[in-house]
C-alpha cells in the first residue's frame, strides 16, 4: 500500500513539475507577439559565460530596453562545437557571435546566414576598416559585424627602470634590439623573460610573437598567403621571423630573466612572467593586454602591488614595427544573423554603431576594447586600453587575426609543439619542415 | 534435480559471505574506501579555504594553518550566468531531472511487462531490437533530434508531428525531457524486463486463475515486485540526468540551464576562478546525495537484479 502511494506521489510530482515548467516558460515566447507593447525577443548565442557573459549583456541592456527588444543571451563555453550541431539540426539562434573568423566563414558557406541589410551594411562600412570588413565577407557579400576586439603584441616594461637607465621606448624593431643590448650592459644579466607553458597548448605565446614579427616585417599580403598555406613555413619570411626572435630567445645573454636559462622558457607558465617584471628582475616581456590582470597578484621589490600606468611601476608599448607602419595581431568576436526580422536587423545595426562601441568600453568592471572608429576613446578609463583602441581604430594600422587561430588546428598544434621543440634545442630548419609537414593532414 | 543447484548456490553464498567478512577483507575495504574518499575530502576542505590559499598551497596545509571562510559558498550562490543564479539553476535541474526520471520508468515498465508476460508474435525479436538500441551513442542523436524539434515530421505535405514553438534556442524543458527519455528507454526496458520476467510463473498463473486481467496484475503484482529494480534504476537515471551537461547545453536556452551548465561557467572564460568549483561541487551534489541515501537500500538489491537471474 505504502509503495503504491510512493508511485502515485512520484507521478503526481512529475505532472506538477511539468505543469509548473509549462506555466513559467510559455508566457515569455508566444503571447509576446500579440500583446501590444510587449518586447520582441531576439536570441543571441555566443562564447562568454559567467561574469564575461553578464558584461556582454550589460553592454546592450540599456539600448534594448529603450527600443523595446528583449535580447536573450545564452553563453556556451563549447560554442565552437555546439554551433555546428545546432546548424545541422536547424535549431538556430537569431544572432550568433563567433570568436574566430575561420569557423564563421565555413558557417556562412552553409547558406543559412543572412547577409547584412543595407542600413547595417552602411553603418559597418562607415565604422570599420577594410581589414575588419574582409573577415566577414564571403563571395563579395558582407555578413558579419565585429562586436569587440583584442590586441596582442604588447611589450611590458617598467617606466621607472627605463628612467633610471636613461632609455626610452623604441620606435622600430632595430631600436628594440639596441635597447636590449643597452639594458643588458646596464644590468649585466638577462633582459627578457618569457613563459610558453600553457598545458596542452604550450608554445602559443611564442607562435603569437612569430606572427607579430612576420606581419610587421613582410606585410599583410604575405601574412594572408602564409595563413592560407600558400607561403610555406620553410619559406624565407617565416625563417626570417624565427631567426629574428631566435636572437632573443635562444641567447642565454638575453633570457630568461628571473627564471634561469633558455630551457626555463618552456617550463614557465605564461602568466608568471608578471612576477619578475614586477619585482625588477626582468626588464621586458611580450604578452597581450590581459597580462595586466596578473600584476594584481605580483609584488614590486618594495613589496607593494605594482601600479600599472605610464608613469607607474609597469606599463606597455606595442611591438614596434620592423618595417613600414604599425601592425597589430589580435582577435575579435563577430556577430552574424540567422534570421532577418526587423528587430534582429535593428540589433545588428546597433552592434555596428559607435553608440554600441561606447557602451561596450564603459561596461563597469570589464576590459573590452573595440576597433569601431565611431568610438569616443575619451570614455575609456584605463589608459592602456585607450591606447589599444587608438591603435586599432587608426586608419594606418594593419590588423590581422592571430595566424595560429586562423590556420587549421592540426597546423596550429604542430606549430605550438615545434616552437617548444625549437627552444629545447631542435634545429630551426628541422622544426620548420616538421611544422610544414602538418599541412598534409589539414 | 532441482535441489542440487540450490544447495550448491547456498554453499557458495555462505563461502562468499565468510570470505567477505574476514578481518583482512574488512581492512582492505576500509583502506580502499579511505583512498577513494581522499580527493573528495580534499575538495571539501578546499571549499572552506580563502581563495588565495586554495590557489597557492595544497589543501592538507589547512590542518597546519586552519583558516575558514564561507566566501566561496556565498560567491557561488550569488553567481549569475545568463541571468540566472545558482539557486535558480538548481530548481531548473530538479525540473529537468524529475520528469526525465519518471517518464522513462513509466514507459519502460509498461513495455517490459508486455514483453515479459503478454504473448505476441515477434516479442523476442522486438526485445532484442530495443536493447540493441543501447549501442547508439547519445551524441549521434543530437542532430536528428534538433531537426525533429525544429521542423517536426512531415510526410507528403501532412504534418505528422508538429514542431515545437520555436524560441530557436530551445522551448522550455520539453526537448530535454524527451531527449533524456529516448536515450534512457533501451536500458530501462532491459533492466525492468529482467526484473518482471523473474517473477515465478506460478504466481502469475494463480492471479490469472483468480480472474485478474493484465491491468490488475500489472498494478497489484508486477509493480510491487519490481520495486527494488525500479528504485535502483531511478537512482541511476536521476544521477545521470542530474550530472548531464551535453544534452542540457544543446537543448536548453540560457534561463532554463541546469546547475551543471552554470557550474561549468563558474570558473570563468579563462578558468581564472577555478577555486570556486570546490564550493560549487558541493552545492551541486547535495541533491544527488539525498536521493542516493533515501533509495540506497534498494540500490545493491537492484544491482544484483540482473546478475543473479537463473
Total-model pTM: 0.79
Q: Are B234 and B105 in contact (CB under 8 A)?
A: yes
List of chain A residues whose C-beta atoms are within 8 Å of the C-beta of residue B102 = 10-11, 13-14
d(CA A120, CA A122): 5
d(CA B17, CA B6): 16
pLDDT band at residue B111 under the 50/70/90 scheme: very high
The last residue of one of the domains, among A400, A417, A432, is: A400
Q: Are A95 and B169 in contact (CB under 8 A)?
A: no
List of chain B residues whose C-beta atoms are within 8 Å of the C-beta of residue A77 = 264-265, 269
Q: Which of A3, A89, A293 sits opposite B224 (nearest CB)?
A: A3
Q: Which of B81, B219, B272 sits opposite A49 (nearest CB)?
A: B81
Q: Is A341 found in the same domain as A204?
A: no
List of chain B residues whose C-beta atoms are within 8 Å of the C-beta of residue A22 = 172
> Cβ separation of B102 and A26 shorter than 8 Å?
no
The C-alpha cell that represents B284 in the structure block: 551541486
Q: Report the residue of B79, B263, B265 to disrupt the A interface, i.e. the one with the largest count of A CBs within 10 Å.
A: B265
Residue A118 belongs to domain spanning? 40-151+332-400
- DSSP string for residues in A20-63: HHHHHHTTTTSGGGTSTTPPEEEEEEES--HHHHHHHHHHHHHH
Q: What chain B residue is nearest to A30 in terms of C-alpha separation?
A: B165
Q: Report the residue of A74, A200, A287, A339 to disrupt the B interface, i.e. the one with the largest count of B CBs within 10 Å.
A: A74
Q: Is A252 found in the same domain as A168?
A: yes
List of chain B residues whose C-beta atoms are within 8 Å of the C-beta of residue A41 = 167
Q: Which of A3, A89, A338 sits opposite B143 (nearest CB)?
A: A89
Please give the pLDDT value at position B154.
76
Please give the pLDDT value at position A32.
41
Give a yes or no: residue A201 inside a domain.
Answer: yes
d(CA A273, CA A276): 6
Please give the pLDDT value at position B10.
59
Q: Which of B98, B147, B255 sits opposite A14 (nearest CB)?
A: B98
> Cβ separation of A89 and B167 shorter than 8 Å?
no
* Mean of pLDDT values over B276-283: 88
Q: Is the bond preceding B48 in cis, omega lying within 30 degrees of 0? A: no
Kind of pairing between the strands at A95-98 and A327-337: antiparallel
The C-alpha cell that represents B155 in the structure block: 510526410
Q: Is A369 found in the same domain as A290?
A: no
List of chain A residues whose C-beta atoms are within 8 Å of the C-beta of residue B106 = 11
Mean pLDDT of chain B: 83
Give a yes or no: residue A28 inside a domain.
Answer: no
Please give the pLDDT value at position A11.
64
Alpha carbon separation from A360 to A21, A44, A263, B50 (Å, rounded): 35, 16, 41, 32
For residue B128, is pLDDT > 50? yes
Q: Is A429 found in the same domain as A375?
A: no
pLDDT band at residue A22 under the 50/70/90 scheme: low
Q: Are B90 and B259 in contact (CB under 8 A)?
A: yes
pLDDT band at residue B2 under the 50/70/90 scheme: very low
Please give the pLDDT value at position B171.
54
Q: Is A170 found in the same domain as A274?
A: yes
Q: Is A164 found in the same domain as A72?
A: no
For residue A21, is pLDDT > 70? no
Structure confidence by residue, pLDDT tens digits, B237-257: 999 999 999 898 888 877 888
Please give the pLDDT value at position B165.
55
> Cβ separation of B172 and A22 shorter than 8 Å?
yes
- DSSP string for residues in A330-347: EEEEEEEES---HHHHHH
CATH code of A268's domain? 3.40.190.10
CB proximity list for B257: less than 8 A, separation 6 or greater: A74, B81, B82, B84, B89, B92, B248, B249
Interface A-B, measured as beta-carbon pairs within 8 A, has a size of: 129
Mean pLDDT of chain A: 88
* Mean of pLDDT values over B269-287: 82
Q: Is A192 found in the same domain as A273?
A: yes
Structure confidence by residue, pLDDT tens digits, A290-332: 888 888 878 888 888 888 888 889 999 999 999 888 999 998 9
User: Please, what sign has the CA dihedral across residues A49, A50, A56, A61?
Assistant: positive
> Cβ separation of A90 and B147 shorter than 8 Å?
yes
- DSSP string for residues in A187-200: HTS--B----BBTB
Alpha carbon separation from A96 to A83, A136, B261 (Å, rounded): 8, 13, 19
Structure confidence by residue, pLDDT tens digits, A413-439: 999 999 999 999 999 999 999 999 999
The C-alpha cell that represents A326 in the structure block: 604599425
Q: Which of B82, B99, B145 sits opposite A75 (nearest CB)?
A: B82
For residue A344, is pLDDT > 70? yes
List of chain A residues whose C-beta atoms are within 8 Å of the C-beta of residue B223 = 3-4, 7
List of chain B residues whose C-beta atoms are within 8 Å of the C-beta of residue A20 = 95
Q: Is A141 found in the same domain as A113?
A: yes
d(CA A213, CA A228): 18
> Cβ separation of B167 and A43 shorter than 8 Å?
yes
For residue B1, is pLDDT > 50? no
> Cβ separation of A91 and B83 shorter than 8 Å?
no
Highest mean pLDDT among A59-63, B67-71, B175-179: A59-63
The C-alpha cell that represents A276 in the structure block: 619578475
For residue A389, is pLDDT > 90? yes
Q: Is A162 found in the same domain as A145?
A: no
* Mean of pLDDT values over A165-182: 93
Please give the pLDDT value at position A232.
94
Structure confidence by residue, pLDDT tens digits, A107-126: 998 899 999 999 999 999 99
Query: According to CATH, where is 1.10.3720.10 located in chain B?
Result: 81-305
Please give the pLDDT value at position A50.
80
Q: What chain A residue is nearest to B165 in terms of C-alpha separation?
A: A30
pLDDT band at residue A272 under the 50/70/90 scheme: confident
CA distance B63 to chain A (A): 25
Q: Which of B102, B143, B177 sits opposite A11 (nearest CB)?
A: B102
> Cβ separation of B165 and A72 shorter than 8 Å?
no
Q: What chain B residue is nearest to A26 in terms of C-alpha separation?
A: B172
> Cβ separation of B106 and A30 shorter than 8 Å?
no
d(CA B54, CA B72): 11
Q: Tell me, what's the ipTM?
A: 0.73
> Cβ separation of B143 and A43 shorter than 8 Å?
no
Q: Is A189 found in the same domain as A49?
A: no
d(CA A81, CA A103): 10
* CA triple A372-A374-A377, angle to 5 deg: 85
Q: Which of B145, B165, B266 sits opposite A50 (nearest CB)?
A: B266
Query: What is the total count of domains within chain A?
Result: 2
> Cβ separation of B143 and A88 shorter than 8 Å?
yes
Please give the pLDDT value at position B8.
54
Please give the pLDDT value at position A127.
95
For residue A33, is pLDDT > 60? no
Q: What chain A residue is nearest to B252 in terms of C-alpha separation?
A: A74
Q: Is A299 found in the same domain as A273?
A: yes
Give a yes or no: residue A14 inside a domain.
Answer: no
Q: Is A357 found in the same domain as A261?
A: no
Please give the pLDDT value at position B50.
87
> pLDDT over 70 for what percent of chain B?
85
Q: What is the CA radius of gyration of chain A?
A: 25
- The CATH architecture to which B81-305 belongs is Orthogonal Bundle (1.10)
Amino acid at each position: 500500500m505504502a509503495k503504491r502511494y510512493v508511485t502515485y506521489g512520484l507521478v503526481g510530482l512529475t505532472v506538477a513539475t511539468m505543469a509548473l515548467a509549462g506555466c513559467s516558460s510559455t508566457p515569455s515566447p508566444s503571447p509576446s507577439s500579440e500583446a501590444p507593447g510587449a518586447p520582441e525577443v531576439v536570441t543571441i548565442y555566443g562564447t562568454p559565460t559567467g561574469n564575461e557573459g553578464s558584461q556582454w549583456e550589460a553592454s546592450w541592456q540599456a539600448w534594448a530596453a529603450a527600443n523595446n527588444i528583449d535580447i536573450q543571451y545564452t553563453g556556451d563555453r563549447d560554442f565552437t562545437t555546439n554551433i555546428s550541431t545546432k546548424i545541422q539540426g536547424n535549431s538556430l539562434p537569431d544572432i550568433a557571435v563567433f570568436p574566430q573568423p575561420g569557423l564563421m566563414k565555413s558557417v556562412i558557406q552553409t547558406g543559412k546566414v543572412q547577409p547584412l541589410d543595407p542600413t547595417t551594411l552602411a553603418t559597418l562600412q562607415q565604422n570599420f576598416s577594410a581589414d575588419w570588413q574582409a573577415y566577414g565577407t564571403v563571395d563579395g557579400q558582407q555578413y558579419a559585424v565585429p562586436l569587440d576586439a583584442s590586441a596582442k603584441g604588447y611589450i611590458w616594461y617598467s617606466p621607472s627602470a627605463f628612467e633610471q637607465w636613461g632609455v626610452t621606448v623604441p620606435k622600430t624593431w632595430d631600436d628594440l634590439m639596441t635597447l636590449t643590448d643597452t639594458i643588458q650592459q646596464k644590468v649585466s644579466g638577462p633582459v627578457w623573460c618569457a613563459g610558453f607553458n600553457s598545458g596542452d597548448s604550450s608554445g602559443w605565446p611564442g607562435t603569437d610573437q612569430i606572427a607579430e614579427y612576420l606581419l610587421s616585417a613582410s606585410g599583410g599580403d604575405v601574412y594572408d598567403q602564409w595563413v592560407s598555406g600558400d607561403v610555406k613555413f620553410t619559406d624565407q619570411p617565416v625563417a626570417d621571423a624565427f631567426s629574428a626572435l631566435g636572437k632573443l630567445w635562444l641567447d642565454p645573454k638575453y633570457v630568461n630573466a628571473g627564471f634561469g636559462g633558455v630551457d626555463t622558457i618552456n617550463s614557465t607558465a605564461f602568466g608568471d612572467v608578471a612576477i619578475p617584471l614586477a619585482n625588477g628582475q626582468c626588464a621586458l616581456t611580450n604578452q597581450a593586454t590581459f597580462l595586466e590582470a596578473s600584476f594584481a597578484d605580483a609584488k614590486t621589490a618594495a613589496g607593494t602591488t605594482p601600479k600599472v600606468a605610464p608613469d607607474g611601476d609597469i606599463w606597455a608599448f606595442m611591438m614596434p614595427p620592423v618595417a613600414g607602419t604599425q601592425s597589430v595581431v589580435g582577435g575579435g568576436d563577430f556577430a552574424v544573423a540567422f534570421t532577418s526580422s526587423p528587430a534582429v536587423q535593428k540589433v545588428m545595426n546597433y552592434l555596428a554603431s559607435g553608440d554600441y562601441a561606447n557602451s561596450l568600453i564603459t561596461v563597469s568592471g570589464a576590459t573590452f576594447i573595440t576597433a569601431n572608429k565611431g568610438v569616443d576613446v575619451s570614455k575609456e578609463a584605463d589608459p592602456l586600453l585607450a591606447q589599444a583602441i587608438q591603435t586599432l581604430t587608426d586608419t594606418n594600422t594593419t590588423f590581422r587575426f592571430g595566424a595560429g587561430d586562423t590556420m587549421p588546428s592540426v597546423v596550429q598544434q604542430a606549430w605550438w609543439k615545434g616552437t617548444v621543440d625549437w627552444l629545447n634545442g631542435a634545429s630551426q630548419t628541422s622544426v620548420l619542415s616538421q611544422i610544414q609537414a602538418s599541412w598534409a593532414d589539414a | 534435480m532441482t535441489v542440487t543447484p540450490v544447495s550448491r548456490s547456498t554453499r557458495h553464498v555462505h563461502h562468499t559471505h565468510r570470505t567477505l567478512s574476514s578481518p583482512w577483507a574488512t581492512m582492505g575495504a576500509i583502506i580502499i574506501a579511505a583512498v577513494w574518499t581522499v580527493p573528495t575530502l580534499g575538495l571539501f576542505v578546499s571549499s572552506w579555504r580563502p581563495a588565495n590559499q586554495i590557489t597557492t598551497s595544497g589543501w592538507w596545509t589547512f590542518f597546519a594553518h586552519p583558516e575558514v571562510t564561507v566566501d566561496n559558498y556565498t560567491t557561488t550562490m550569488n553567481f549569475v550566468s545568463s541571468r540566472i543564479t545558482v539557486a535558480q539553476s538548481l530548481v531548473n535541474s530538479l525540473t529537468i531531472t524529475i520528469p526525465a526520471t519518471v517518464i522513462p520508468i513509466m514507459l519502460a515498465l509498461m513495455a517490459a511487462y508486455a514483453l515479459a508476460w503478454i504473448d505476441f508474435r515477434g516479442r523476442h525479436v522486438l526485445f532484442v531490437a530495443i536493447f540493441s538500441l543501447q549501442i547508439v551513442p547519445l551524441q549521434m542523436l543530437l542532430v536528428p533530434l534538433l531537426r525533429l524539434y525544429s521542423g517536426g515530421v512531415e510526410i507528403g505535405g501532412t504534418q505528422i508531428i508538429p514542431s515545437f514553438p520555436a524560441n530557436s534556442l530551445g522551448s522550455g524543458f520539453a526537448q530535454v525531457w524527451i531527449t533524456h527519455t529516448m536515450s534512457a528507454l533501451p536500458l530501462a526496458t532491459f533492466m525492468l524486463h529482467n526484473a518482471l520476467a523473474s517473477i515465478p510463473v506460478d504466481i502469475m498463473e494463480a492471479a490469472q486463475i483468480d480472474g485478474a486481467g493484465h491491468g490488475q496484475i500489472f498494478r497489484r503484482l508486477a509493480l510491487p515486485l519490481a520495486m527494488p529494480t525500479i528504485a535502483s534504476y531511478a537512482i541511476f537515471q536521476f544521477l545521470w540526468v542530474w550530472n548531464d551537461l551535453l544534452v542540457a547545453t544543446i537543448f536548453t536556452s540560457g534561463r532554463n540551464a541546469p546547475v551543471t551548465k552554470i557550474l561549468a561557467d563558474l570558473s570563468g572564460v579563462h578558468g581564472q576562478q577555478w577555486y570556486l568549483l570546490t564550493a560549487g561541487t558541493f552545492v551541486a551534489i547535495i541533491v544527488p546525495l539525498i536521493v542516493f541515501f533515501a533509495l540506497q537500500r534498494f540500490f545493491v538489491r537492484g544491482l544484483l537484479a540482473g546478475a543473479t537471474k537463473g
